Structure 1
């Protein structure tokens, strides 16, 4: 069981997108997270939550606002966020 300080991050396929993800949800989410973190290293003024939501949507995923805020905070803090295996691409 997770404690109150440990929120589970949830990602799911966007039902409005009919295409297949081509990889497990966690791996696709990891690519979106990595792309957002990379963008943030190049542009400190970046709205991380907005960019993460965009990266997830572009890959056919969505998440709840709590998970989005948690991951965005971790990225801004410089913490590594691991949800799955990235294929190494950030585009």
Structure 2
């Protein structure tokens, strides 16, 4: 029988490390989470590429800012409707 400290180490490995290995992303370098910031960055790069610019110049940047402003206004409108205690920041 293993000593308690070694059993604890084995349980630790099984609980924390095994699920990461099973997901396939632990050793392969695969991106596990693709969050909103990644999507916004990709959208900006795509917009600039479609406009024929390698870098985000004034035109595409302004379009993205207007889009973000519109989304922010829509979010605030929904929050005002759903949450009576909401205050705009």
TM-score by length of structure 1 reads 0.28
Larger helix percent: 2
| Structure of greater Rg | 2
Q: Larger RCO: Structure 1 or Structure 2 (Cα < 8 Å, ≥ 6 residues apart)?
A: 1
TM-score by length of structure 2 reads 0.29
